[in-house]
Amino acid sequence: GEQVEQLPSILRVQEGSSASINCSYEDSASNYFPWYKQEPGENPKLIIDIRSNMERKQIQELIVLLDKKAKRFSLHITDTQPGDSAMYFCAASGESSSFSKLVFGQGTSLSVVP
Amino acid sequence: EAAVTQSPRNKVAVTGGKVTLSCNQTNNHNNMYWYRQDTGHGLRLIHYSYGAGSTEKGDIPDGYKASRPSQENFSLILELATPSQTSVYFCASGDWGEGDTQYFGPGTRLLVL
């Protein structure tokens, strides 16, 4: 089945700089790639997603890039703020589009320091 | 945003005991999911459901059963709890018609002693 690798597991950046998280997947049939943010003690919340018919998507300071040939996708957070500190998970849909079954990466703990 | 609730929020169980975790969603989503979250493993799918009456095995179903008696409710059952099942469990719901987005409940912290 689908497997998703997420790196780095820990990321520490200076406030105002950019943060990048990278994910790779195995199943070329995967067509949906969401990113979730999880704050301590909270549930994961969808922050941005991208489908296989797109290569780039931006929502405010969040940018997602998708390289289908390389089976890689990435999240870039520009102008990071302390409120961006959290766990981030990437995921890929592991089944056909008739049913959404997500496979998650291992997570990245992002710390934004002043 | 979809409303997904879970109960209990915290549970302490004894080894060999039966544990039932409940999930309710009020958005009429067809699909519901149970995940467990452990440090270093992210979120792993235990069971999922297409709709009332259906349950399917996810990636790590051993030791768990699921029940979907209605559109709104999806339960995860540990017939004989073991310490290795100590974890945080998340329920989620979603619908392909809403673009595959999954909405997560608040989680249940389970400690098996």
Q: DSSP code of B76?
A: E
Higher pLDDT, A101 or A6: A6
Cβ contacts (< 8 Å) between A106 and chain B: which residues? 40-42
Amino acid at A22: N
SS3 of residue B83 by DSSP: helix
Nearest to B48 among A43, A49, A101 (CB): A101
Encode pLDDT of A14-58 as tens digits. Answer: 999 999 999 999 988 888 899 999 999 999 999 999 998 999 999
- Write the DSSP assignment of A56-112 as a string of letters: EEEETTEEEEEETTTTEEEEEE-S--GGG-EEEEEEEE-S-TTS--EEE---EEEEE
Flag if B96 and A102 touch (Cβ within 8 Å): no
pLDDT of A101 reads: 79
**The predicted structure's pLDDT at residue A99:** 60
Report chain B residues whose CB lies below 8 A from the CB of A103. Answer: 45, 59
Alpha-carbon span A6 to A22, nearest angstrom? 6
* Higher local confidence (pLDDT), B27 or A71: A71
**CB-CB under 8 Å, B45 with A102:** yes
Give percent of chain A above pLDDT 70.
94
pLDDT at A98 over 60: no
A67 has pLDDT over 60: yes
Residue B15 distance to chain A (closest CA, Å)? 25
In chain B, which residues have their Cβ closer than 8 Å to the Cβ of A36?
104
Distance in angstroms (rounded) separating the CA atoms of residues A3 and A100 = 15
Give tens-digit pLDDT for B1-40: 559 999 999 999 999 999 999 999 998 888 999 999 998 7
Mutation to test the A interface, candidates B33, B44, B89, B102, most A Cβ within 10 Å: B102
pLDDT computed for residue A93 by the predictor? 84
pLDDT of residue B1: 54
Q: Output A36-42 pairs: Cβ under 8 A, ≥24 positions apart.
A: A36/A88, A36/A89, A36/A91, A36/A104, A36/B104, A37/A86, A37/A87, A37/A88, A38/A86, A38/A87, A38/A88, A38/A89, A38/A107, A39/A86, A39/A87, A40/A86, A42/B106
Scan residues 68-87 of A and list those with Cβ closer than 8 Å to B.
none
Among candidates A6, A100, A107 on the partner chain, residue whose Cβ is nearest the Cβ of B102: A100
Tokens of B22: 């409940």
Q: How many CA atoms lie within 13 A of A8 on its CB side?
A: 9
* Mean pLDDT to the nearest integer, B69-91: 97
> Which positions 74-113 of B are in contact with A (Cβ < 8 Å)?
90, 94, 96, 99-107
**Mean predicted confidence (pLDDT) in B63-90:** 97
**Cis peptide leading into A40, omega within 30 of 0?**
no
Alpha-carbon span B51 to B49, nearest angstrom: 6
* In the predicted structure, residue A76 carries a pLDDT above the cut 60: yes
Residue B85: helix, strand or coil by DSSP? Answer: helix
pLDDT band of A97, cuts 50, 70, 90: very low
| Biggest alpha carbon–alpha carbon distance for chain B | 41
Judged by CB atoms closer than 8 Å, whether chains meet at B102 and A32 is answered as no
Question: In angstroms, what separates the C-alpha of B90 from chain A's closest C-alpha?
Answer: 8
Q: What is the rounded distance in angstroms from the CA atom of residue B30 to the CA atom of residue B108?
A: 22
Q: How far apart are CA B69 and CA B51, in angstroms?
A: 9
